[in-house]
Structure 1
Amino acid sequence: MSIEPSSAVPVLVLAVRDEYAGRRWAPPGRHWPAQPSAVGGLDLVAGGTWLAVGSAGAGGEAGAVGEAVAACLLNGFGTLAPAQARQSRGELPLLAVRGGRIDRLDLDRYDPFHLVVARASGVRVLSWGGSGSRLAELDLPTGLSVVLNDGPEGMAENRTASERIRSLMGARAARFRARFETAARPEPLPDAVSTGEAWGAWLPIVAGDGLPLDDPAALVQRREFGDGRIWGSSSISLLAFGPAGVRYDFGPAPVEGDGDWRRVEAA
C-alpha cells in the first residue's frame, strides 16, 4: 500500500493472491446476483472472493456513503474455528464493500484473517487471530506499508510458528519495499488507457522484477512445501483511489507481457 494524501491519487494498492494451484477460480466480474455492484475474483470452491470492489453503504465502516471501497483478504495465523461451525472467510470482502460491520459478526466462526479495507481517504486493516483473541483495527500511516499473513509489517499478535515461512515473507517484504521506495510513484488517473501508461515504473516491479519464481524474495512465487501440492501466486490486482473513484487493473501471475493485463470496470 502507498498512501500519500497530497497526491492526485492518494491511495495505491498492490495485492498478490497466493493460493494452492489446484484451487479453482474465475477472474474479476459481477459474480454475486445478491450484490450486483460488487466486482471481484470468484473462488469456485467456496463462492466468495479474496478481493472485492464496490461502493460503501449506509451504516457501515467509516467513510462516505457511495464512496468507492475495496477489501482484500489475507489468511492469518492463530486458532482455527470449529469445523462444524466454520464460515468461509471469502464472504468478508463482500460484506466490507457493502458497508457491513465486521465487528458485529460472530468471529469465532471464522479462521484467522487480515482484512485490508481501502478507499481514497485511507486504509484500515482488521486482524482476527481466532477464538480467544480480539479483533484488532489499524489505520495505516502515510507512506509505504506492507501487509503479510503475519499482519501489518509482520507484527500481528498471532504470527506463524514456522521459521521458514517467516523468513520467506520477510525476504519478500524487504526487497520489494526497497524497490517501490526508489521507483517513481505513479498517479493512475482514469484517462490513462493502458495498464503500462497508468502504472509506469511500478509495473515491471509488480510483474516480478525479473526474479525466478523460486527465489526466496520473489513477489510472484511458486513453492513446493513437500506434501505434493504447489503453492504460488495466481493473480495480481492493482487499485488506485482518487477523486474520480477507483481504477482496477488485473493480471494473471506470472504476467507474461503487457497484453495479460486488463482494466476491470468497477465502482
Structure 2
Amino acid sequence: MCTVIVHVPEDSTAAIRVLAVRDEDPARAWDPLGAWWPELPGVVGVRDTRAGGAWLAADPAGSRLAVVLNRADLIDDSLATGSRGQIVLDAAAGQGLPEVPPTHGFNLLTVTPGRARVAMWDGDAVRAVDLAPGVHMIAHDDVDDPKTARIATWHDAFAAPSGEDWVAEWVAALERTTALPPTDDRAIIRDNRPHGYPTLSLLVCAASVSAAGADVIYGELDEPGAWNSLQLR
C-alpha cells in the first residue's frame, strides 16, 4: 500500500519530480539505494533481498526511473510466478511490459524525460495512462482515485514545487500528513496491520528526471510506521 506523488510540469523540458513512500513487511529484508545488479551496469535502486528485484530503480545516465505499487487482483498464486521487482528492473533498463505480466497486480510508474506513464495490471488487462501536467497521487487503485482515502484527503496538500528546494517542500507536506495516526486509512505514513496487511511505511525516496539525468535520494524511517525528521541523501 505504497504511495507515490508525481509532478509533471507544463514545460516538457523541465524535470519531473517524484516522492515515493514504501510500505512493506519490516521482516522482509531490503537493501538501501545502491547499484546491486552487476548485470545492469549503471542501474541503482532499492533491492528486495529475498527476490532480488527492486521496489524502485533508476538508470541515472539513461534518464529513466521506475517504481512499483501493489494493486488488488484476482490472480491465483499458482499463476503469479514472476516478481514485480523484475518488472521494475526491466522498466529502468528501458524494456517494455509483457502483454500478460506473470505477476500479481501492480501500478508501475515509469518516468523518462518529459513523460510519466502509469501501467496498471489487475489480472485482466494492462491499462496505461500518460500523466498530464500537474500533481498526481498513486496508491493501490487508479491514479488520483478519489475512492482512495489518502488521495482524497491529501492530494491538494502536495502543491507543484515552487523552487529548487522541492524535496524539502514535499517532505514538509508529508510530515503534515502525520497529524493522522498511521492506522488511519487516510494516512500516508502507515501501519496497515489493522487493515489486514503486515506492512508499514519503511522509507522514502525522492527523484528528479530530465534529459540531464535521473537523480534519486533515499531515507529510512527510524521505526516502521512512525514519522521522524528525514534527511534524504
TM range (shorter): 0.7 to 0.9
> Which residue in the other structure is 2:228 paired with?
256
TM-score (norm 2): 0.84
Please state if 1:247 is matched with 2:212.
Answer: no
Q: Is the 8 A contact 2:13 2:114 kept in 1?
A: no
Q: Distance in 2 between matches of 1:99 and 1:177?
A: 29
Alpha-carbon deviation of 1:71?
0.6
Q: Is the 8 A contact 2:62 2:214 kept in 1?
A: no
> Which residue in the other structure is 2:54 paired with?
49
Which of 204, 217, 223 matches 2:192?
223
Q: For structure 1, which segment, 17-26 or 88-97, has the greater mean C-alpha deviation from structure 2 after superposition?
A: 17-26
Q: Distance in 2 between matches of 1:97 and 1:73?
A: 11
> Which residue in the other structure is 2:168 paired with?
200
Q: Distance in 1 between matches of 2:7 and 2:174?
A: 13
> Which residue in the other structure is 1:161 paired with?
none
Structure 2, gaps ≥5 residues long:
1-5
RMSD between aligned residues: 2.5
Q: Is the 8 A contact 1:208 1:220 kept in 2?
A: no
Alpha-carbon deviation of 1:129?
1.2
AA matched with 1:261: L
Which of 155, 176, 183 matches 1:177?
155
Q: For structure 1, which segment, 212-221 or 11-20, has the greater mean C-alpha deviation from structure 2 after superposition?
A: 212-221
TM-score (norm 1): 0.74
> Which residue in the other structure is 2:3 paired with?
none
Map 1:50-89; keep pairs closer than 5 Å. 50-54=55-59, 67-83=62-78, 86-89=81-84
Map 1:3-18; keep pairs closer than 5 Å. 3-6=8-11, 9-18=14-23
Q: Deviations along 1:76-115, whole A, 9 cap, x unmatched?
A: 11222552661111100100111112135x52x2111111
1:239 to 1:223, Cα distance in 2 relative to 1, 3 A = same
1:205 to 1:35, Cα distance in 2 relative to 1, 3 A = same
1:232 to 1:116, Cα distance in 2 relative to 1, 3 A = same
Q: Which has the higher helix share?
A: 1
Which of 30, 34, 39 matches 2:44?
39
Q: Distance in 2 between matches of 1:8 and 1:214?
A: 40
Count of matched residue positions in the alignment of Structure 1 and Structure 2: 223
